Amino acid sequence: MKNHKSTRDSYGETLKELAKKDKNVVALDCDLGRSTRSFRITEADPERFIEMGIAEQDMISTSAGMASMGKIVFANSFAVFLTGRAFDQIRQQVSLPSANVKLCASSAGLTQGPDGATHQSVLDVSLMRTLPNMIVLSPADGNQAEQVVSAAYEYKGPVYLRLSRYETGDFLPENLSFKIGKAQVLKEGKDVMLASYGPILKNVLGASVILENWGISTGVVNFHTIKPIDVETVKSLGKSYSLIVSIEEHSIIGGLGTALSEVLAEMNSEKTIASLKRIGVQDRFGESGTADELLKKFKLDADGIAQTIKELV
């Protein structure tokens, strides 16, 4: 098993391998190819890396045009620019015609780090989740990113891939099977179910251990697919846990917490017993700092998460 530092590293490696086996795989980037790792496609074929300059809107529409010709297009930038700057192009030319474009959104979340609020993407899941035809995926570690990127390649249609530069190393159990739309219960518990996605799942697992020591039994579930949300799993959790806590490196508005609330709120007749608490970025922007400093400040490190949950139960 390879040891990936981050989901973006795994993405670059997987993209290169996909490009080797399929000549229709192409990558476009906006002057960030070495950071997003999309540049690694050049190891398979330099012709299939297309530099678009600093022009995200142009890149998305160009990607849609290439997809109309049968190309499987991986369009890259930082999550904040890809979803914010080019939202209208994504809406009209990717989402509406269900174009086969993979939106590879790098450096997502607070863990983008020192560049601060302008560069930290904490609204992207909300923006992408609202688009018809869009699949929203966020792998937790490098091994999972391999599976997620391959699944996005296999899937014919638009996919939003939320990728990160945060270096957690691989931490999920080996040989965990992956399927788009099927949440992974990593751990069962008695009192609380912790629902999360992306690299901070490592901190959630850490918090679960701390809480265990404090006598609070928690389960952990990985919603690597935020859209379509795994309704069956959410309903099942709603019947067996009295408290579900969503934990995300994203605004509490529009992300996983909201997706869970939508399912739970409509469960009335099915007798949910769960209440929901959303942990994440509390309707504010980020700021400069190292990834770890920021996670600590926003109480998204293992200690912070454990402390918040202790206060809830």
Partner 1 sequence: MNIKDLEEKAWQIRLELIKMFSFGKIHHLGGSLSSVDILTALYHYKMNYSAQNMNDPERDRFIMSKGHSVPTQYVVLAMLGIIPMDELKTIKRLGTRLQGHPDILKTPGLEAPTGSLAQGLSYANGIALAARLDHQNFNIFLVLGDGELQEGQVWEAAMTTSHYSLKNVCVIVDKNKYQSQGNVNTMMRIDPLEEKFEAFGWKAVTVDGHDIKQICDALDLVGDNNKPIAIIANTIKGKGISFIEDTYKYHNASITKEEYIRAEQEVVKKIESIRSEINA
The CB-of-67 to partner 1 minimum distance in angstroms stands at: 8
Write out the binding residues for partner 1, residues 50-89 only, by CB under 8 A: 50, 52-53, 55, 57-71, 88-89
Binding footprint of partner 1, residue count (CB under 8 A) = 30
Q: Which amino acid is at 139?
A: P
Task: Report which secondary-structure segment, H or E, holds 72.
Answer: strand 72-78
Interface with partner 1, residue 96, by CB under 8 A: yes
For partner 1, which is the closer residue by CB, 101 or 204?
101
Q: Is 56 a catalytic residue?
A: yes
Q: How far apart are CA 158 and CA 285, in angstroms?
A: 28
Write out the binding residues for partner 1, residues 179-208 only, by CB under 8 A: none
For partner 1, which is the closer residue by CB, 73 or 194?
73
The CB-of-130 to partner 1 minimum distance in angstroms stands at: 16
Write out the binding residues for partner 1, residues 18-57 only, by CB under 8 A: 26, 47-48, 50, 52-53, 55, 57
Q: Which amino acid is at 234?
A: V
For partner 1, which is the closer residue by CB, 52 or 204?
52
- The residues near 146 (Cβ < 8 Å, ≥ 6 apart) are 4, 10, 13, 14
Q: How far apart are CA 112 and CA 70, in angstroms?
A: 33
Q: How far apart are CA 228 and CA 226, in angstroms?
A: 6
Q: How far apart are CA 310 and CA 229, in angstroms?
A: 27
Q: How far apart are CA 77 and CA 106, in angstroms?
A: 6
Would you give the binding string for partner 1 spanning residues 237-276, x where CB under 8 A is met? ----------------------------------------
For partner 1, which is the closer residue by CB, 92 or 118?
92
Q: How far apart are CA 12 and CA 146, in angstroms?
A: 9
Helix, strand, coil percentages in the chain from 3-state DSSP, rounded to 5: 40, 20, 40
Nearest-Å Rg of the Cα atoms of the chain is 19
The CB-of-105 to partner 1 minimum distance in angstroms stands at: 19
Q: Which residue in 170, 166, 190, 86 sits closest to 128, CA to CA? A: 86
The CB-of-80 to partner 1 minimum distance in angstroms stands at: 18
Specify burial of residue 191 (Cβ count, 10 A radius: 0-12, 13-18, 19+): middle
Residues 13, 56, 248, 249: which is the catalytic one? 56
For partner 1, which is the closer residue by CB, 51 or 292?
51
The CB-of-119 to partner 1 minimum distance in angstroms stands at: 21
Report the DSSP beta bridge partners of residue 78: 106
The CB-of-63 to partner 1 minimum distance in angstroms stands at: 6
For partner 1, which is the closer residue by CB, 54 or 273?
54
3 state DSSP class of 218: strand
In 22-141, which residue ranges form alpha helices assigned H by DSSP?
A: 33-36, 56-67, 79-84, 87-89, 124-129
Sites of contact with partner 1 (CB under 8 A): 26, 47-48, 50, 52-53, 55, 57-71, 88-89, 91-93, 96-98
Q: Among all residues, which ones are annotated catalytic?
A: 56
